[in-house]
Amino acid sequence: MQDSPIQVNGYWLAEFFGMTGWHINADDHPLNKFNMENFVSRLKLVNDYLQPALDDYSPAQRYAVKETLRYAINCFTAEEIEHFIGMQVPDLQRKPHEFLENIWMIMFGGEPHELDWIVDYYRKDDYNDSLDKPELKYGYDR
């Protein structure tokens, strides 16, 4: 068990997946050609958009994204996943948990995505809380 709870925020997930630059009305975006039910498309999404964004983050920002993704896989409903990242990823509505599990597997390899203790997490979905806040951007490493 952690000394202090790990904060997660669904809007951090939205901010991270927003790095794709895709949105619902983006007619000419390359992601429109992707079939998100296809693993190869998910791999391309990670390699072309998400991994470079994660690599540019500070260690604390990467930790926040990783733990929020872990929490989302285990605790978010399909509707919550759609709410937070549905505007940033095309064709998400069919199997959102499987989609996030595939993204996890591609990005974090063999590391398990299951939670050890749910009490280790503190969820606060705050739209005004950004991954760019100073304590994450310049803050401590976990």
Output the pLDDT for position 127. Answer: 92
pLDDT band at 136 (very low <50, low <70, confident <90, very high): confident
Find where tokens 């990823």 sit: 89
Output the pLDDT for position 84. Answer: 94
Looking at residue 130, what DSSP letter applies? -
The alpha carbon of residue 102 and the mean position of all alpha carbons in its chain are separated, in whole angstroms, by 11
The phi and psi torsions of 8 (rounded to 5 degrees) equal -125, 155
- Report the distance separating Cα 129 and Cα 59, nearest Å: 18
CA atoms within 13 A on the CB side of 17: 24
For residue 27, is pLDDT > 80? no
pLDDT tens, residue by residue, 56-98:
999 999 999 999 999 999 999 999 999 999 888 877 767 899 9
